Amino acid sequence: MQIFGVDIGGSGIKGAPVDLDRGDLAQERHKVLTPHPATPDGVADGVKQVIDHFGWTGPVGLTFPGVVTGGALVRTAANVDKSWIHTDARGLFSDRLGGLPVTVVNDADAAGVAEMQFGAGRGRRGTVILLTFGTGIGSAVLVDGALVPNTELGHLELHGHDAEKRASSKAKEDHHLSWEHWAHRVQKYLAHVEMLFSPELFIIGGGVSRKANKYLHYIEGIEAEIVPARLQNNAGIVGAAMRAAQAQQR
């Protein structure tokens, strides 16, 4: 079974048809740059470009980098334009895509459910926390495989700042941090999250999951196991498609 998944990020919009039997992309993904400012209309145009690239005409699952309630209403917009707040994202995207069935989910939540079914969290019980390090820090908290949605742990305070302002991939680039220096910031953030949730496993997602050998060995003193996302930066696309498939079965 194939469903189309799109992952909307602060820097790029990427998508592809997903083979839900394998939990992997059925074709090489297509990516366009996220417009700046990342307004609802601009992002919807970018999503349409990605889907039109494949000539797709079926159900579509989309991630959004913020809180999404009821599968439609955007509640926060930390890394996109503030005009997203209170937007009916499902209605907007469905209209732009000519009425295609659309499902919208928080980006890290999508990555989390994908990693639990097909990736690094498969078969794991207890509390598992996936953290995506990119333009910001996204989070997915799963307890015995069940998702606690819209946790947004990237906005926990760390040294007087939003944690994502200190420890995201963007922060690493903006502050010209070495992998070691950045890893020490991530370590402090993980220690704070661990103190609050006592997880058995941290899964590190986002683009940095491909480069785990550059920084994981610098992170010390964390009780939980720490592993890179097995689906790497495709986890959001796969998870979005999974959610769209579930919506079709209701």
Question: What are the structure tokens assigned to 210, written together?
Answer: 């491909």
Predicted confidence (pLDDT) at residue 156 exceeds the cutoff of 80: yes
Q: Give the structural domain span for 145.
A: 121-230
Domain count, the chain: 2
Q: Are residues 238 and 221 in the same domain?
A: no
pLDDT at residue 165 in the model: 94
210: in domain: yes
Span 241-248, average pLDDT: 93
pLDDT digits (tens, 9 = 90+) for 57-102: 999 999 999 999 998 999 999 889 999 999 999 999 999 999 999 9
pLDDT at residue 207 in the model: 87
Which of these, 186, 189, 205, lies nearest to 197 by C-alpha position? 189
115: in domain: no
244: in domain: yes
Which of these, 43, 45, 50, lies nearest to 64 by C-alpha position? 43
pLDDT at residue 249 in the model: 81
pLDDT at residue 73 in the model: 95
Q: Are residues 95 and 125 in the same domain?
A: no
Mean pLDDT, all residues of the chain:
96
Span 207-215, average pLDDT: 93
How sure is the predictor about 188, in pLDDT bands with cuts at 50, 70 and 90? very high
pLDDT at residue 55 in the model: 97
Residue 115's CB: how many other CB atoms inside 10 A? 30
- Residue 85 CA to residue 127 CA, distance in Å, equals 30
pLDDT at residue 58 in the model: 96
How sure is the predictor about 1, in pLDDT bands with cuts at 50, 70 and 90? confident
What CATH code is carried by the domain that includes residue 33?
3.30.420.40
Predicted confidence (pLDDT) at residue 199 exceeds the cutoff of 90: yes
pLDDT at residue 10 in the model: 87
Span 129-134, average pLDDT: 96
Residues linked to residue 13 through DSSP beta bridges, in sequence order: 8, 32
Comparing 48-62, 118-132, 156-170, the range with the smallest average pLDDT is: 156-170
Q: Are residues 89 and 172 in the same domain?
A: no
Which of these, 133, 136, 68, 79, lies nearest to 105 by C-alpha position? 68
Which of these, 136, 119, 143, 121, lies nearest to 197 by C-alpha position? 143
- Helix-strand-coil percent breakdown of the chain, rounded to 5? 40, 25, 35
Task: Look at residue 169 and give its three-state secondary structure.
Answer: helix
- Residue 19 CA to residue 241 CA, distance in Å, equals 9
pLDDT digits (tens, 9 = 90+) for 2-46: 999 999 998 899 999 999 999 999 999 999 999 999 999 999 999
Which of these, 68, 54, 67, 69, lies nearest to 100 by C-alpha position? 54
Q: Are residues 207 and 125 in the same domain?
A: yes
Span 104-122, average pLDDT: 97
Q: Are residues 16 and 71 in the same domain?
A: yes
Predicted confidence (pLDDT) at residue 205 exceeds the cutoff of 80: yes
Predicted confidence (pLDDT) at residue 250 exceeds the cutoff of 90: no
